[in-house]
């Protein structure tokens, strides 16, 4: 699709959305006027219908009209005399008690939530590791062409998906081509919109324009490939906070956001990124993310490591992920089976420290790694797949042992 055509469609969609909002305001005003008249109040015929008529004339006129003034679209006072609340303001009971107990999932399942609804997902890593491949497979999952990615289900977006191919769009197109066939043409036409090349603005400079840009395509998901190509000077905190603001505004409009990004270059003191501080740029970039996934390895590696740096629920992985660069496929290559390690443990059982060594592939796991391993082992205990023996004496680690099925019988 030519850029001029896409821009024209975007402008049309934005204008249509504004007209629909005006019509909605007009309907609210008319309903309130009728309610007041029905309650015995006498409306002033010279003024009561003016805002409605002006709003409707804007909706049905032949060309774009100036938007109504604030006074014309502001709703009348509510019956208790207090002003109406904004659209996103709800009472405390509804906000707290009507929130689902289980995390609504975009990608994952009840035990492994990688991408939660209403929370941006960042996929970070060096160039050439498969970020675009993974992001594109998630996009295809959202349009219904793939049911699972890395063995975990992807929820279908009832709307459309906008893929912003700002980084090397021709290469992105070739990458997509590996994953689909001619038989997918109809689904790709109806459900996927691709913006080719950089945006005509910087999202940090003009966050509101980014919101209108995304909403104008009438989509339910947007994929940004990649962040460095839509905002400049990402290491600055003021830029990072504005980028986060732009993303949060899109989320507030009911659109899910996936961002592909890079991490800081490795150094002699930090040769293997392991935390959010290793993500390139301001800390505010990922502050508003619900989930951050790191891919780590060397460019072109067929097997890379996936680590869950920030989680909306329980941590997923670490995982060894196999990347088929020729066919654009990704799958779990190897996952540490803690239940199996517990069953095979000697010396009376498995410690959290030993589990962390196996999970993270290190000889000296950090305290954080050991704690993560302990939580997973405790999960096996809760599920009845292991037992825990607290070692006597202070400072000695607990031992995890397999369940004695003979004793249970």
The tokens for 158 are: 């009832």
64, two tokens: 């774009």
The CATH architecture one would assign to domain 105-334 is 3-Layer(aba) Sandwich (3.40)
Fold of domain 338-408:
Arc Repressor Mutant, subunit A (1.10.10)
Token pair of 186, please?
């109809």
Task: At 91, list the tokens.
Answer: 């009472």
Share of the chain above pLDDT 90, in %: 38
Per-residue model confidence (pLDDT) at position 85: 44
Helices (H) and strands (E) in the chain, counts: 14, 15
Confirm whether 105-334 and 338-408 share one CATH topology: no
Q: Which residues contact 403 (CB under 8 A, 6 or more apart)?
A: 384, 385, 386, 387
| pTM of the complete model | 0.65
* Residue 332, number of CB atoms within 10 A of its CB: 14
* Domain ranges within the chain, ordered by starting residue: 14-97, 105-334, 338-408
- E strand or H helix at 287: helix 284-287
Q: Which pLDDT tens digit goes with each residue over 238-293?
A: 999 999 999 999 999 999 999 999 887 666 666 677 778 888 889 999 999 999 99
* Structure confidence at residue 256 (pLDDT): 97
List pLDDT tens digits, range 7-26: 555 565 555 555 555 555 45
pLDDT confidence band for 86 (50 / 70 / 90): low
């Amino acid at each position: 699709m030519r850029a001029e055509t896409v821009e024209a469609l975007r402008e049309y969609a934005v204008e249509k959305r504004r007209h629909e909002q005006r019509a909605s305001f007009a309907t609210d005003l008319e309903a309130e006027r009728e309610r007041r008249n029905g309650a015995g109040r006498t409306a002033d015929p010279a003024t009561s219908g003016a805002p409605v008529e002006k709003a409707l004339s804007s909706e049905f006129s032949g060309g774009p009209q100036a938007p109504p003034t604030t006074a014309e679209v502001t709703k009348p006072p509510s019956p208790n005399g207090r002003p109406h609340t904004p659209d996103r303001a709800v009472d405390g009971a509804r906000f707290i008690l009507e929130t689902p107990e289980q995390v609504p999932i975009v990608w994952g399942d009840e035990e492994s939530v990688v991408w939660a609804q209403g929370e941006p997902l960042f996929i970070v890593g060096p160039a050439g590791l498969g970020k675009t491949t993974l992001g594109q497979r998630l996009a295809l999952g959202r349009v219904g062409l793939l049911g699972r990615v890395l063995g975990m289900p992807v929820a279908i977006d009832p709307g459309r998906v906008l893929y912003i191919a700002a980084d090397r769009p021709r290469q992105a197109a070739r990458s997509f081509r590996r994953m689909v066939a001619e038989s997918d043409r109809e689904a790709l036409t109806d459900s996927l919109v691709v913006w080719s090349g950089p945006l005509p603005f910087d999202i940090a400079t003009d966050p509101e324009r980014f919101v209108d840009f995304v909403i104008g395509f009438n989509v339910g998901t947007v994929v940004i490939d990649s962040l460095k190509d839509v905002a400049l000077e990402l290491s600055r905190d003021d830029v990072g906070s504005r980028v986060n603001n732009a993303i949060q505004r899109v989320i507030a409009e009911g659109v899910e956001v996936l961002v592909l990004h890079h991490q800081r270059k490795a150094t002699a003191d930090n040769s293997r990124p392991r935390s959010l501080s290793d993500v390139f740029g301001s800390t505010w970039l990922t502050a508003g993310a619900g989930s951050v996934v790191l891919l780590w390895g060397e460019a072109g590696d067929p097997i890379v490591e996936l680590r869950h740096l920030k989680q909306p629920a329980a941590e997923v992985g670490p995982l060894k992920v196999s990347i088929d660069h020729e066919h654009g496929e990704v799958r779990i290559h190897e996952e540490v089976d803690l239940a199996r390690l517990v069953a095979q443990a000697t010396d009376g059982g498995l410690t959290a420290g030993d589990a962390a060594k196996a999970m993270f592939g290190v000889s000296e796991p950090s305290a954080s790694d050991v704690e993560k391993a302990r939580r997973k082992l405790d999960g096996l205990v809760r599920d009845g797949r292991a037992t825990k023996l607290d070692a006597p004496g202070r400072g000695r680690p607990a031992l995890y042992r397999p369940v004695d099925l003979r004793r249970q019988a």
